[in-house]
Amino acid sequence: MCEILCSTGAIIGLPNGRDYNLLKPFSEQLSCDGFEFMMYSSWYEEMYPMLKAIRSMKLNIPVMHCEKHIGESISKGDLATAYELFEKNVYLAGELGAKKLVIHLWDGMTSDSNFDKNLEAYAQLRELTDASGINLLVENIVCTHQDPMSRWKQLTDAYCDIHFVFDTKMAEFHGQTQLLYAPENDWLWKDGHICHYHVNDYGGALKEWAKLKTLPIGKGHVDFQSFFTFIHKIDYNDTFTVESTAFDAQGIVDFEMLNAQFRYIQEAMKH
């Protein structure tokens, strides 16, 4: 049975003080099945009080998203920092009950320019998640030197049992959405590599960095009808996350916009 999740990063951000205590009242206004918990770097200093507060909320958190600077540290070659932070994220995921952990294996201005470092680092990251019984998922994060699909193929060549999360916005940014459906890439789903989907829209042109914004379904040009036709074809029935930024400059959250997206996915999964 599929679970439609809301990224906590869609509702908690700088305009509302990144106040994790807001998750409880916000959750009561959302019709999702649970949450993908997004870790922020500013929360490391209060990690244990934060964890205590969130666990007391009794939220369903089957997926956690690693704090994004981990991938940037790997890309820069600062592996000691990356591994130290990643270990904290793995601990948090376990304590929150998450079974899947999303990572940007490369990130920041360095992006995939030092991909050999990212490729090698995966092995140690995977050891940590395997030991904790957590499924590590590498996201098709945007690239500055090659492209996400090429990087996924390199990773799969090196690690035959690697798992991924497919983000529709990231794919569309690189003009790679159609590659998901191509027969030559059926290994992605036939071999069980993709274990989670981020369902977001994109409204820019090919690799238009100024438009790299997470949009709600229907506000960009991703063909979601084709996407969900494919989802049904491969009999995928697991987790989806909506990540569209829902707070404004004052931190006010547009709950109806998010609930409309959850309804859209719910209906799409019925057909």
Q: What is the pLDDT along the chain (271 residues), one digit of tens a residue?
A: 799 999 999 999 999 999 999 999 999 999 999 999 999 999 999 999 999 999 999 999 999 999 999 999 999 999 999 999 999 999 999 999 999 999 999 999 999 999 999 999 999 999 999 999 999 999 999 999 999 999 999 999 999 999 999 999 999 999 999 999 999 999 999 999 999 999 999 999 999 999 999 999 999 999 999 999 999 999 999 999 999 999 999 999 999 999 999 999 999 999 7
Write down how long the chain is.
Answer: 271
* Inter-residue contact 66 to 82 (CB < 8 Å): no
* Inter-residue contact 3 to 62 (CB < 8 Å): yes
* Inter-residue contact 4 to 242 (CB < 8 Å): yes
Host domain of residue 80:
3-268
Residue 65: which CATH number? 3.20.20.150
* Structural domain count, the chain: 1
Closest C-alpha to 164, from 151, 152, 173:
152
